[in-house]
Amino acid sequence: MKVPIEKLIYKVTVPPSKQFIESIRKFDKIMPVVVTPQGDNFLVHVGNRSVAALKSLGKTEVECVISDLGGPVLALLGNLQRSSNPVAEGCAIQDLLDEGWSKEDIVENLGIPMYKIYPLLNLHNNLIPELKQKIADGTMAVEAQGGWRLNYLKTNRENWLIMKR
């Protein structure tokens, strides 16, 4: 179903990267945007960055899939399918916790191991926005080895950003 962009309620915790926006411009394709009705509007659960990218490209409508699943569950499932942004995964887990889910509920119902939940939450809750953006852009890698480790810090500024926290 095509939905006017002004009818979409969306939240972008990490803005879309330049590469992501350029790929949408070039190929004119995105993963499905999943929404639930909210009054006369639609709340975006999966595809917030896609909507922001489309809006930045001047698009006026977005192809959406309407779902009746709970929003945080949809957002987390979308992030896990992409599994390219651990900060976004941590954000989705935090949303579930805010909705009243326990960490045990997340492990049991979504199959995310407990040892992965704490580092994901730590990344989401403790990284400064500049580093979150670098992870989203793919200019900084994050790897898990007994916890999350930031890789490819190339400048003194990036090192200072970590020390600032």
Per residue in 104-144, pLDDT tens?
A: 888 877 777 888 888 888 888 888 888 887 777 777 777 65
Point out which residues pair with 150 in neighbouring strands: 142
Q: Is residue 113 part of a domain?
A: no
Beta strands in the chain (DSSP E): 2-4, 8-9, 33-38, 41-46, 61-66, 141-144, 148-151
SS3 category, 94 = helix
Tens-place pLDDT, residues 3-33: 999 999 998 877 888 888 998 888 887 777 8
Question: In this structure, what CATH number is given to the domain that contains residue 10?
Answer: 3.90.1530.10
Residue with the bigger pLDDT between 97 and 81: it is: 97
Query: Mean pLDDT for the chain?
Result: 77
Q: Is residue 91 part of a domain?
A: no
Q: Is residue 39 part of a domain?
A: yes
Whole-model pTM: value is 0.50
Q: Is residue 23 part of a domain?
A: yes
Residue 77, pLDDT score: 64
Q: How many domains does the chain have?
A: 1
Q: Which domain covers residue 57, as residue numbers?
A: 1-68
Q: Is residue 42 part of a domain?
A: yes
Question: Hunting for tokens 């009054």 — which residue is that?
Answer: 39
Residue 147, pLDDT score: 45
